[in-house]
């Protein structure tokens, strides 16, 4: 995956960054007046580098507004002509991609519902072969990192090099204040593996205006590369996603309020270097401890084999977990972290013992 390091340098829209680089515009292009009024106001904001607007909308229920289609591409192209902002829209099928190219769209975004389907992603990649268009790849609806990576690989194999990730959060079964749970660790991992620019779509993560500011700050704090924000000249009248859209004026205020963070947490910062050294030592100790624990687990496996005992002793496992959660609470450790860590350790231990008992 080393060649992906080139993507960042290659990507034209990242050439002149005015941080936080922002892609803004309405959820849907609704009328000529709406897109032009919105685009004119957005063009006054220096951080806004690209205008977005949905032409074909993927809707949960069939009778909802599904976008204006081709006529809206005429208006979007007009907004580009007037403001000089490059434009992006969602393409879910080869026909969408073809029409978008016909109307001088600069970047296509692949929506979360499309990225879940490798057949659709492949069809799009095939349709774009031979072009040099920028493709913004949203994360799939489900928190599946490999599926997201797979989409990048399909476009890459088709010869497309201008690839950017859009993090828009994930469907999640637990209750949360977000429309789509951010699970920041997933885009962080994507960036580590592919080294692509990652833009945070705060609008679809939040689903409401109130959380936008904090989420934008979080994105900057985590050193992501920019924001996608839904902005509409009259958000309360929007045909789609009215609750999460903000006026261009509100967007300007939001962007001004973000505190910048240096990405180059400098190598010459001694305090940071010392603390990082401490983390490295602790990690080394953790590794030693994990290896010791797995060793003991193997010994238990041998013993269970001799005695004809089952690998999983459910009562014992429940007891261990509840003891650890109790201790962890006293130590101020998050319950979610402990559950994840001990579930993973327990799984690895079961696997080790199963292989000893010969039923792995």
Closest chain position to ligand PEP (CB):
111
Nearest to 22 by CA among 43, 50, 42: 50
Residues 6+ apart with CB under 8 A from 252: 44, 45
Q: How far is the CB of 67 from ligand PEP (least distance, A)?
A: 10
Least spacing, CB of residue 212 vs ligand PEP, in Å = 14
**Cβ proximity to ligand PEP, 113 vs 305, nearer residue:** 113
Nearest CA to 87 among 36, 144, 141, 157?
Answer: 36
What does the alpha-carbon distance between residue 91 and residue 93 come to, in Å, rounded to a whole number? 6
Tokens of 22: 């922002």
What does 96 bind: Mn ion, ligand PEP, none (CB cut-off 5 to 8 Å by kind)?
none
- Count of chain residues binding ligand PEP (CB under 6 A): 9
Among 20, 53, 111, 197, binds ligand PEP (CB under 6 A): 111
Least separation, in Å, of the C-beta of 245 and Mn ion?
A: 8
Six-digit token pair at 227? 């924001």
Residue 27 in the binding site for ligand PEP (CB under 6 A):
yes
Q: Are 95 and 127 in contact (CB under 8 A)?
A: no
Our finding on whether 277 is near ligand PEP (CB under 6 A) is: no
Residue 204 touching ligand PEP (CB under 6 A): yes
Strand partners, 198: 165
| Burial zone of 357 (CB within 10 Å; 0-12 exposed, 13-18 middle, 19+ buried) | middle
138 part of the interface to ligand PEP, by CB under 6 A: yes
Which of 159, 167, 140 is CA-nearest to residue 151? 140
Residues 6+ apart with CB under 8 A from 95: none
For ligand PEP, the closer CB: 80 or 138? 138
54 binds ligand PEP (CB under 6 A): yes
Q: Quick one: which segment of 108-116, 257-265, 276-284, 305-313 binds ligand PEP (CB under 6 A)?
A: 108-116
Q: Which residues bind ligand PEP (CB under 6 A)?
A: 27, 54, 58, 111-113, 138, 168, 204
Q: Which residues bind Mn ion (CB under 5 A)?
A: 27, 241
């Amino acid at each position: 995956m080393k060649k992906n390091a080139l993507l960042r340098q290659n990507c034209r829209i990242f050439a002149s960054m005015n941080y936080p680089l922002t892609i803004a515009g309405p959820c849907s292009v609704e009328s000529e007046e709406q897109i032009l009024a919105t685009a004119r106001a957005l063009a006054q904001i220096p951080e806004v580098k690209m205008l977005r607007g949905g032409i074909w909308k993927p809707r949960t229920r069939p009778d909802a507004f599904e976008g204006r289609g081709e006529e809206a591409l005429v208006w979007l192209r007009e907004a580009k002509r007037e403001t000089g902002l490059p434009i992006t829209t969602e393409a879910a099928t080869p026909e969408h991609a073809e029409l978008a190219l016909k109307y001088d769209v600069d970047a296509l975004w692949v929506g979360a519902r499309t990225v879940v389907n490798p057949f659709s992603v492949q069809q799009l990649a095939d349709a774009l072969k031979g072009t040099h268009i920028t493709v913004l790849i949203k994360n799939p609806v489900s928190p599946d990192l490999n599926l997201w990576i797979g989409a990048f690989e399909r476009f890459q194999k088709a010869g497309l090099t201008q690839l950017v990730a859009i993090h828009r959060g994930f469907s999640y079964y637990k209750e949360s204040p977000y429309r789509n749970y951010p699970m920041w660790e997933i885009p962080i991992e994507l960036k580590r593996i592919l080294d692509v620019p990652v833009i945070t779509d705060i609008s679809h993560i939040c689903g409401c205006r109130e959380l936008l500011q904090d989420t934008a700050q979080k994105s900057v704090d985590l050193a992501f590369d920019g924001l996608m924000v839904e902005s509409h000249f009259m958000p309360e009248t929007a045909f789609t996603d009215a609750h999460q859209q903000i006026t261009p004026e509100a967007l300007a205020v939001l962007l001004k309020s973000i505190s910048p963070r240096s990405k180059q947490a400098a190598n010459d910062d001694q305090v940071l270097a010392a603390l990082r050294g401490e983390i490295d030592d602790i990690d080394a100790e953790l590794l030693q401890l994990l290896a010791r624990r797995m060793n003991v687990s193997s010994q238990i496996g041998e013993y269970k084999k001799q005695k004809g005992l089952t690998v999983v002793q459910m009562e014992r496992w429940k007891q261990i977990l509840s003891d650890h959660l109790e201790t962890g609470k006293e130590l101020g450790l998050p319950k979610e972290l402990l559950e994840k860590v001990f579930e993973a350790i327990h799984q690895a231990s079961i696997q080790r013992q199963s292989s000893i008992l010969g039923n792995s």
